Amino acid sequence: MKRSWRFFPALWAAKLTTVILKLFRRNATHLPGLVALKLCPTFLGCVEKPKTIIAVTGTNGKTTVCNLLDDILPDCGIVPLNNRTGSNVDGGIITTFLHACNLRGRVKAEMAVIEVDERSAMFVFKYMEPDYLVVTNLFRDSFKRNAHSEFITDILNRAIPQKTKLIVNADDLISSHLAPANPRVTFGIAHREDDWEVPQNIVCDMVACPHCNTALQYDFVRYNHIGRAHCPSCGYGSLPVNYEITAVDTDAQTLTLRTKDGEERYRMLGENITDWYNTLAAVTMLRELGIDANAIELSLQKREIVRSRFEKITVGDKAITMQLAKGQNPIACSRAFDFIRRCEGNKAVILLIEDFFDAKHTSENIAWLYDADFEFLCGEQIPQIIIAGVRAADFRVRLLLAGVPDERILCMREEAATADAVDFERVDNVFVLFDVYTVPFARTVQERLLARLNGTQEEVTV
């Protein structure tokens, strides 16, 4: 794109904004980009970019996939420009390029890994054409922002540049068929024993063929619409898989992949199947860049799931598991609930997933609770479900409709009090589910639980 005369004044003003913000010890991860955008609406198109741009989008897992790429690439000799510390919408992405370029608008990095919010794709891809676009999956997300998956699909179909090569999840019929004219590479996980024959979740957005409305036939379904399916009438269905996990060894903690170059083995990061999908998406992207499988594996050996997303602490024979669940995202919550029900032992679940910001100024739209599979929390192995916050009464009703007996539900007004309500004589593992914005509450609860287990806090009768 030809540089506008506004570009350099915008660049310098935004750089100055960064300096001022840093003088006041403020994060300069978004505002400088907004300043640049205000002064030069085509700034993102004008700024010099690295030779190779990888964009990552999708409903769930895009941050994790970006983090993996950002961590592994330097071990392979490539230091990518990334928006890890900033936001994944226009202001944050512009700020990323702004920080990377000098006062003459030159960028040194040879590669960029940019996380892109699905809704921002229309703006971002107009000015930044990615060479590769990794799409982790597409599901229903926040009703108020994302409406429904067809709305997001439509945005992406209109936004994805023709030259972009897609790295897509073959087990997701929605995202794998994006931009049908574009070249693509697919990843997936082969049929597993614990897969289902028909959808089990409340939400399944691929029940009927989008071309002829005939009921789809699932070869297997893993969760929601994730699985492999075909239309018996018109031939529509799941795409062939280029990079496929064919075996998971939970003892050895390895994932075995079938690739065009033969069988490859990688370290398993995390116990949840969504962790495996995220690892697979990153590995597929790296392999498509031509990075050696051994180099990827060596780097994976050093990686951990980010502590802010999943953390398990064991004290004696008890455990406390902190798990990000993302409020208003019914699929993310359902994955967390499914993970809990599959874990052995008696469990208490603490829910800190109401919307922190809505609670400050409005009344949260709780319709999403009814798209999330609270039914997974019905089992007798979950004798306590403890809820805190202003929406506790709504969670109680939702749990009752799910079939959870009332005597297993405890409602608290204050988040911190949930830790005192856990009955450690009846449970082995406490799962604390929290939202991105309720991390401080979750940490307080975690500390109180640990204090109780370590005997450094007096027992409180609730």
Partner 1 sequence: MTIEILFPEHANLFGDMSNMRYLQACLPDAEFVRTPLTEVPYFVNHDVDLLYMGPMTERIQQQVILALMPYADRLQAMIDGGTPMLFTGNAMEVLGHNIQLENGNSIHGLGILPLNAKQDMLHRYNGLVLGRFAPVQSDIVGFKTQFTSATGDNADCAFIKTERGIGLNKQSHYEGFFKGNMIATYLIGPLLILNPALTRWLLDTMGASDVPLAFEEAVNDAYARRLAEFCDPQVDVEY
- Minimal distance, residue 207 CB to partner 1, in Å: 4
Our CB check for partner 1 shows the closer of 32 and 389 to be 389
Our CB check for partner 1 shows the closer of 155 and 282 to be 155
Strand, helix or coil for residue 430: strand
- Minimal distance, residue 139 CB to partner 1, in Å: 12
Q: How far is CA 110 from the centre of its chain?
A: 26
Distance CA 440, CA 387 (A): 16
Q: What is the Cα gyration radius of the chain?
A: 23
Applying the rule CB under 8 A, the residues between 357 and 396 that interact with partner 1 are 358, 361-363, 365-371, 390, 393-394, 396
Contact flag: residue 312 with partner 1 (CB under 8 A): no
**Cβ-contact 196, 228 below 8 angstroms:** no
- Minimal distance, residue 211 CB to partner 1, in Å: 12
Tell me the window of 24-32, 33-41, 143-151, 416-424 that interacts with partner 1 (CB under 8 A). Answer: 143-151
Our CB check for partner 1 shows the closer of 95 and 334 to be 334
Give the residue, chosen from 214, 253, 301, 308, that forms a contact with partner 1 under the rule CB under 8 A: 214
Query: Measuring CA to CA, which residue among 3, 1, 4, 10 is closest to residue 95?
Result: 10
Q: In what order do the strands lie in the sheet with 111-115?
A: 81-82, 111-115, 52-57, 132-135, 165-169, 184-189, 243-249, 254-259, 262-267
Contact flag: residue 397 with partner 1 (CB under 8 A): yes
Instruction: Pull the structure tokens for residue 420.
Output: 């005192």
434's enclosing H/E stretch is strand 429-434
- Minimal distance, residue 361 CB to partner 1, in Å: 5
Contact flag: residue 131 with partner 1 (CB under 8 A): no
- Minimal distance, residue 150 CB to partner 1, in Å: 4
The DSSP secondary structure of 241-287, one letter per residue, reads: PSEEEEEEETTTTEEEEEETTEEEEEE---SSHHHHHHHHHHHHHHH
Contact flag: residue 147 with partner 1 (CB under 8 A): yes
Instruction: Pull the structure tokens for residue 151.
Output: 């709305």
Contact flag: residue 253 with partner 1 (CB under 8 A): no
Our CB check for partner 1 shows the closer of 165 and 396 to be 396
- Minimal distance, residue 357 CB to partner 1, in Å: 9
Give the residue, chosen from 16, 19, 79, 215, that forms a contact with partner 1 under the rule CB under 8 A: 215
Tell me the window of 51-59, 73-81, 202-210, 287-295 that interacts with partner 1 (CB under 8 A). Answer: 202-210
Applying the rule CB under 8 A, the residues between 339 and 358 that interact with partner 1 are 358
- Minimal distance, residue 51 CB to partner 1, in Å: 34
Distance CA 438, CA 115 (A): 22
Burial profile 328-352: b = 16 or more Cβ within 10 angstroms, e = fewer: bbbbbbbbbbbbbbebeebbbbbbb
Strand, helix or coil for residue 104: coil
What amino acid occupies position 78? I
Our CB check for partner 1 shows the closer of 20 and 207 to be 207
- Minimal distance, residue 274 CB to partner 1, in Å: 22
Phi, psi of 249 (to 5 degrees): -110, 100
- Minimal distance, residue 394 CB to partner 1, in Å: 5
Contact flag: residue 150 with partner 1 (CB under 8 A): yes
Contact flag: residue 145 with partner 1 (CB under 8 A): yes
Q: Which residues bind partner 1 (CB under 8 A)?
A: 140, 143-145, 147-148, 150-151, 202-203, 207-208, 213-215, 330, 358, 361-363, 365-371, 390, 393-394, 396-397, 400-401, 406
